[in-house]
Structure 1
Amino acid sequence: MESEAILAAWDAYSDKHTDADGWPYDEVTYGWRMVQRDAETWRAFQPVRTCARQLLSTAAVQLQHINAGDIAPHWASHLRELTQALERLEALRSEHDKVREARRTSEPVSQEAFVDSLAERNEEAWSHLDTWAAKGRTLLDIHAVALKAPVRWIRAAPAPTAAAVRRAARRG
C-alpha cells in the first residue's frame, strides 16, 4: 500500500534526523518534512475515500453472513474504528472546503492562511489516516472470507392463500 510506503519513508527519515530521545536535530526541516508526509498520506487516501463508505457498508453486510467461527474477533471493532476515522476525515475535509470556498468568494483568504489551513487539516487527519492504513486490511479480510462462505439460501415466503387475502381485505 502507498500509505505503508509513506510511513516507512517517514520512519526512516525520523530515525536519521532525531536524537536518541526522538528530538529532531533541525526542527524547521523536520516540521516541513512532517507537513510533506501528512500531505502525501492525505493524497494517498483519496482514491479510497470516494468509496470508503460503500466499502464499510459492504463489509458490515458480509460480516452478518459469515459463520461466527470464521469471524476474526477484531473485525467488528476495526469496522467501528474505520467508520469513526472516516467520519472525522469527512469533517476535516468539509471544514477545509469552507476555507477554500471563502478564498473564492467575498471573504478573501490569503495564500498563507489557505496553506496553513491545508497543513492543519492534513496534520489533524494523520491519526485517522493511520487508522485506515493500519486497519483497512480488515475490509479485504472480511471480503475474502465472505467469498469462501457457503451461500445461504433464503426461502421465499409462500404466497398467501385466497382466504388469507380476503381476511386481510376485510380488516383493511
Structure 2
Amino acid sequence: MASPPSPPSVIHQQRLDQLAAFLHTGEQILAAWDAYSEEHTDPDSWPYDDESYGRRAARRDADTWVAAAQIRPFARELVSTAEVQLQQLPARAVQSHWPWHLAGAEDALDQLDAFEEDYRARLDDLPPSARPGTEAYDDLIDARNAEAWHALNELALHAPVILAIHTTTQRTPPRLEAVAPRPAPTAPAAATPVARR
C-alpha cells in the first residue's frame, strides 16, 4: 500500500534542507580547492605543475556541478516561494539586499540551464562510440563544468537568501494588509425591533 503524499510544507522543508546541504558541500569544495591552490602555486599564483593543477580544477568543477544537480530540479520553485514570502513580510523585517540576491540566484539558474542545453546538444553530436570514460565525452563534460563554474559560484553566493527569508517568515507575523479582514459582527435578529400596526 502506497504511503500518503507528504504535505507541501513538509516537501518544502525537505528541499530547504537539501539547499542547505548543497551550500555546505559547496563551501567544503571551495575550501579544499583554496588550500590546494595555495600549496601548489608560486607567490604569483602560477601553478608548479600545470597538468596536475588542471586535473584538480576539473575535479573541483565536477564536484560542484554534481552537488548543484541535487537542487536544480526544484531551485526555481524555492526562489518563487521566497519571492512570495518577501512580499508578505513587514518592511522592518526585510533586508534591502534580499531582492538582489533572489534575482542573482535566478540569473545563475538561467545560466546553468543554458549550459545544460548547449552541452546536451553537443553530446548528441558525438559519435556513438563516445561514451563516459572516452576522451571525447569526458573532455566535453569537463568543458561544461569549467564554463559553468562561475554560475555555480553565483548560485552558492545568492542562494543562502532563500534560507534567510524562510527563517524570517517563520519568526515574523505577516503584514496586516496581507491578512484578510474579519467580517464585522452582525446584530442578532432578535435585537431588531419589529414594527406593529
TM-score by length of 1: 0.83
Is 1:124 aligned to residue 147 of structure 2?
yes
List aligned pairs for 1:9-28, cutoff 5 A: 9-28=32-51
1:109 CA drift (Å): 6.8
Contact 1:89–1:128, Cα closer than 8 Å, also in 2: yes
Identity %: 40
Which of residues 67, 70, 85 in structure 2 aligns to 1:62?
Answer: 85
- C-alpha distance after superposition, 1:20-50 (max 9, x if no partner): 1100000111011000100000001111111
Q: Kindly provide the amino acid, as one letter, of the partner of residue 60 in structure 2.
A: R
Gaps of 5+ in 2: 1-23, 184-197
Moved segments of 4+, more than 6 Å: none
- What corresponds to 2:163 in structure 1? 140
The CA RMSD over aligned residues, in Å, is: 1.9
1:12-161 to 2 correspondence within 5 Å?
12-103=35-126, 108=128, 110=130, 111-151=134-174, 152-155=178-181
Q: How far apart are the structure 2 equivalents of 1:63 and 1:71?
A: 7
Q: From the CA coordinates, give the structure whose radius of gyration is larger.
A: 2
Deviations 1:135-162 (A, max 9, x none): 21110000111112214422489xxxxx
Q: Is the Cα–Cα contact under 8 Å of residues 99 and 114 in structure 1 kept in the other structure? A: no
Closer/same/farther in 2, CA of residues 50 and 156 from structure 1, 3 Å limit: farther
TM-score where L is the length of structure 2:
0.73
State which drifts further: 108-117 or 131-140: 108-117
Distance 1:102 1:64 in 2: 45
Instruction: Identify which range, 113-122 or 7-16, moves more after superposition.
Output: 113-122
Separation in structure 2 between the aligned mates of residue 20 and residue 26 of structure 1, nearest angstrom = 14
